[in-house]
Amino acid sequence: MVGKVYLVGAGPGDPELITLKGLRYLKQADVILYDRLVNRELLQHAKEGCQLVYCGKLPQIHSMKQETINHFLVKYAKKGYQVVRLKGGDPFVFGRGGEEALECVKSGVPFEVVPGITAGIAASAYAGIPVTHRSLSKSFAFITGHQVGDVEAEHQWFHLAKGVDTICVYMGVSHLATIIKHLIRYGKSPHTPIALIHWGTLSDQKTVVGTLETIEARVKEANISNPSMIVIGEVVRLHDKLNWYEEEILSQLPVVQASAGGEQLG
């Protein structure tokens, strides 16, 4: 008896952003294969006896190759197990979920996709940056920073610079300088607003805002690294007014007073 594979989007980090359907399948699963950026709190919903398999990947370091992940999905399903592939964000947005679904089809294994909230939308929202706005942005694009240096993708920068109001870049921090260079070369103003949102939707979220010509220095000063979402466009200007989440976090921190001598108390 063949089981089934569920490609479940866990959302961008905040464990409460998983869908009700995703959570239901998580609780029913016999096997859960989960990624590095999945919030570990979600694994607490696994039933007793559920097998947990870590499939995390760091830049340049893969604990498990994609081909191996594909193999395990099919292997467990063919044993009759209900298999959840728990992926950060959405399975079909830079999550290689399409490849895993195709492997299921190839092997005759039934599958289902449970969409998740992707970081391009969620991290932006938690930073007070709407990816669309009636007067500021009528279009947006999701791109991966991994395409930087890809000769075949080079022509895309012209269209991104000229034809898209808001650009959300995944996995792009290490390529920030090149991304900026491409956008300015193909027509974006150096004064275009840009934000980097580090650990979006989590309690240690940090947002750094600047322009294409100033952001590199600000990112270096703030020591921003992966995982961070890059958002480029006029909507970034709304961050100062709509920054609800980080202001909420700061309001919940204990008050630290200073004495006349400058020493911190508490």
Catalytic residue positions, numbered: 35, 57, 171
Contacts of 123 (CB under 8 A, 6+ apart): 12, 197, 200, 201, 205, 229, 231
Amino acid (one-letter) located at 102 = L
> Residue 153 CA to chain centroid, in angstroms?
21
Q: What is the 3-state secondary structure (H, E, C) of 22-84?
A: HHHHHHHCCEEEECCCCCHHHHHHCCCCCEEEECCEECCEECCCHHHHHHHHHHHHHCCCEEE
Backbone phi, psi, residue 180, to 5°? -60, -45
Helix pair 176-185, 156-163: axis angle to 10 deg: 70
CA dist., res. 250 & res. 266, Å (int): 16
Dihedral Cα 194, 199, 203, 208, nearest 10 deg: -20
> Residue 65 CA to chain centroid, in angstroms?
20
Q: Nearest Cα to 69, choosing from 82, 87, 81?
A: 87
Q: CA of 136: how far to CAs of 172, 235, 247, in Å?
A: 24, 6, 24
